[in-house]
């Protein structure tokens, strides 16, 4: 994708904003991030560079993706309804093209993780960007606002954070690719960042997504291949457009497709 100079500079700023706000590079590896307009980390070549190297889903049982066999998987599609300030937002979750990312999201919805969480970043200026939420820390109103955007889902059984690998499926491919971003200008993705796309936020480390997600407020093609889209808003985008920073998710429910969620060991 070729951009005019002003657009290119804006893209660099926004991609830098897709990293964890207020933390060092060392902290980014252990504290997954999300789209933000206040990040202090500096964009460098390694943060915006893309590559075609990735791991195929056919290798997911190998050590190339440690722990992936222990992650929830969505085999097919599901519908999730987020209720915000009493109004519903319907999301079609795509486990066909993003089984691990979709499975993680649906599993967290089923566990009630998103109930009561805040949208801690809403970026509409200088142009529409994203609405972001899902930091488990935001359930506690006493957590300082400058800490939001740094939290992960902590598995109560292991007491460890659950992270999922970057998962992006290219058009023409039978399976997603994992672990590393790739150049989507050379090969289009099946689930692009279109208006209403729902995707996982992460830090600099490709495999650092956990619970935080964002909804695209515009077409954001420059993010394709770098962040994992796993669904789309199909109804209630007018509600998304009214979300303000600090608004909370009243509830998140799986209304269809719950049977497509597969939990290892169950």
> Is position 264 within any domain?
no
Residue 21's pLDDT is 35
Is the pLDDT at 36 greater than 50? The verdict is no
Residue 1's pLDDT is 38
Over the stretch 225-244, which tens digit does the pLDDT of each residue have? 999 999 999 999 999 999 99
| Stated length of the chain | 266
Place of tokens 């889209």: 229
Place of tokens 């497709």: 257
> Is position 120 within any domain?
yes
Report the C-alpha dihedral over residues 96, 217, 166, 265, rounded to 10 degrees.
-50
Is the pLDDT at 63 greater than 50? The verdict is no
Percent of the chain clearing pLDDT 70 (strictly above)? 75
> Is position 265 within any domain?
no
Over the stretch 237-266, which tens digit does the pLDDT of each residue have? 999 999 999 999 999 999 999 999 999 988
Is the pLDDT at 67 greater than 90? The verdict is no
Is the pLDDT at 156 greater than 70? The verdict is yes
Percent of the chain clearing pLDDT 90 (strictly above)? 70
Is the pLDDT at 177 greater than 60? The verdict is yes
- Give the E-state strand segments of the chain in sequence order: 55-56, 73-74, 77-84, 87-94, 119-123, 130-133, 167-168, 177-178, 197-200, 213-216, 229-235, 249-256, 261-262
Read off the pTM: 0.80
**CB distance 72 to 164 below 8 Å:** no
Spatial distance between the Cα atoms of 74 and 63, rounded to a whole number of angstroms: 21
Mean pLDDT for 201-209 is 95
> Is position 206 within any domain?
yes
Residue 33's pLDDT is 45
Residue 64's pLDDT is 53
Residue 138's pLDDT is 97
Going by pLDDT thresholds of 50, 70 and 90, the confidence category of residue 69 is confident
Residue 65's pLDDT is 64
Per the model's pLDDT, the better-predicted residue between 189 and 53 turns out to be 189
Average of per-residue pLDDT values in the chain: 81
Query: Sign of the CA dihedral 224, 226, 231, 232?
Result: negative
Domain of residue 195 covers: 5-258
Residue 68's pLDDT is 85
Spatial distance between the Cα atoms of 100 and 133, rounded to a whole number of angstroms: 19
> Is position 189 within any domain?
yes
Residue 265's pLDDT is 81
Which stretch of 11-20, 30-39, 76-85, 250-259 has the lowest confidence by average pLDDT?
30-39
Number of independent structural domains in the chain: 1
**CB distance 119 to 239 below 8 Å:** no
CATH number at residue 24: 2.40.100.10
> Is position 33 within any domain?
yes
Mean pLDDT for 72-78 is 97
Mean pLDDT for 2-20 is 45
> Is position 263 within any domain?
no
> Pairing between strand 213-216 and 130-133?
antiparallel
Residue 266's pLDDT is 81
Is the pLDDT at 39 greater than 70? The verdict is no
**What is the b/e burial string over 184-197, where b = at least 16 CB atoms within 10 angstroms of the residue's CB?**
beeeebbbbbeebb
Over the stretch 124-140, which tens digit does the pLDDT of each residue have? 999 999 999 999 999 99
Q: Is 66 helix (H, G, I), strand (E, B) or coil?
A: coil
Spatial distance between the Cα atoms of 178 and 204, rounded to a whole number of angstroms: 15
> Is position 142 within any domain?
yes
Q: What is the DSSP string of 129-192?
A: -EEEE--GGGGSTTS-GGGTT---PBPTTT-SB--B--EE-BTT-SS-EESS---TTTS-BSS-
Residue 240's pLDDT is 98
């Amino acid at each position: 994708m070729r951009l005019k100079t002003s657009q290119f500079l804006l893209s660099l700023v926004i991609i830098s904003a897709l990293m964890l706000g207020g933390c060092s590079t060392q902290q980014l590896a252990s504290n997954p991030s999300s789209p933000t307009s206040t990040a202090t980390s500096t964009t460098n070549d390694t943060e915006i560079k893309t590559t075609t190297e990735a791991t195929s889903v056919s290798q997911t049982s190998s050590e190339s993706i440690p722990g992936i066999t222990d992650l929830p998987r969505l085999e097919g599609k599901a519908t999730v309804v987020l209720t915000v300030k009493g109004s519903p937002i319907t999301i079609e979750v795509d486990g066909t093209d993003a089984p691990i990312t979709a499975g993680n999201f649906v599993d967290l919805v089923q566990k009630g993780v998103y109930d009561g969480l805040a949208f801690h970043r809403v970026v509409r200026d200088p142009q529409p960007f994203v609405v972001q939420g899902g930091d488990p820390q935001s359930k506690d109103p006493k957590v300082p606002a400058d800490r939001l955007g740094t939290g992960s889902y902590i598995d109560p059984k292991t007491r460890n954070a659950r992270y999922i690998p970057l998962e992006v499926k290219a058009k023409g491919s039978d399976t997603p690719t994992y672990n590393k971003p790739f150049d989507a200008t050379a090969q289009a993705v099946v689930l692009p960042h279109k208006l209403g796309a729902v995707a996982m936020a992460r830090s600099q480390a490709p495999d650092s997504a956990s619970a935080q997600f964002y909804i695209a407020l515009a077409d954001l093609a420059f993010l394709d291949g770098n962040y994992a889209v796993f669904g789309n808003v199909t109804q209630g985008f007018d509600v998304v457009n009214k979300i303000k920073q600090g608004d909370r998710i009243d509830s998140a429910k799986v209304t269809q497709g719950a049977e497509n969620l597969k939990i290892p060991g169950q």
